[in-house]
């Protein structure tokens, strides 16, 4: 659509100065993913430490492993869900559509020519008219044939 509006040339967009600001929604989703990835590393690591540690320290590692699992694997998706639903997304960018070329350098395209032949001056005559469908008789009811089979005459000989 942009190519058609600019005579087949690509529009020139302004260069973005500095860094782009990340929207709060994208930032929140990234935080949720990072929290889940940290949990994927931290929970097994704490589990290994708890199995090799002495009893009292092992219990502490088990507690921290359980807490990290709940925090990371429940908190991460909740953070992503919160960001996706409730936080503000990126503002739409409105680029001015400026042609890439100098308008005076390229001439206007020629007028549009139709690829179809010109319409006939006289419509086709000699075709017969369609039948008037209101004059056609309606077919008999579906139940008529069934009723006729039930009304068979009884054999005479008894």
Give per-residue pLDDT as tens, 70-115. 999 999 999 999 999 998 887 766 655 555 555 555 566 666 777 7
Residue 135 falls inside a structural domain: no
Q: Which domain holds residue 54?
A: 23-88
| pLDDT tens, residue by residue, 103-156 | 555 566 666 777 787 776 666 666 677 766 666 666 667 676 666 666 666 677
Residue 65 in any domain: the answer is yes
**40-81 pLDDT tens trace:** 999 999 999 888 888 888 899 999 999 999 999 999 999 999
Residue 60 lies inside a defined structural domain of this protein: yes
Judge whether 1 lies within some domain: no
What is the Cα 75 distance to its own chain's centre? 28
Number of domains in the chain: 1
């Amino acid at each position: 659509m942009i190519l058609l509006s600019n005579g087949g040339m690509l529009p020139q967009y302004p260069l973005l100065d500095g860094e782009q600001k990340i929207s709060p929604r994208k930032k929140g989703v990234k935080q949720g993913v990072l929290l889940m990835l940290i949990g994927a590393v931290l929970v097994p690591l704490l589990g290994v430490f708890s199995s090799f540690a002495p009893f009292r320290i092992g219990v502490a590692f088990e507690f921290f492993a359980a807490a990290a699992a709940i925090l990371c694997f429940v908190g991460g998706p909740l953070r992503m869900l919160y960001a996706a639903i409730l936080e503000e997304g990126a503002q739409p960018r409105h680029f001015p559509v400026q042609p890439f070329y100098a308008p005076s350098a390229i001439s206007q395209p020629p007028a549009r020519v139709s690829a179809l032949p010109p319409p006939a001056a006289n419509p086709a005559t000699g075709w017969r008219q369609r039948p008037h469908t209101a004059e056609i008789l309606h077919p008999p009811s579906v139940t008529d044939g069934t009723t006729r089979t039930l009304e068979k005459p009884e054999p005479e000989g008894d």
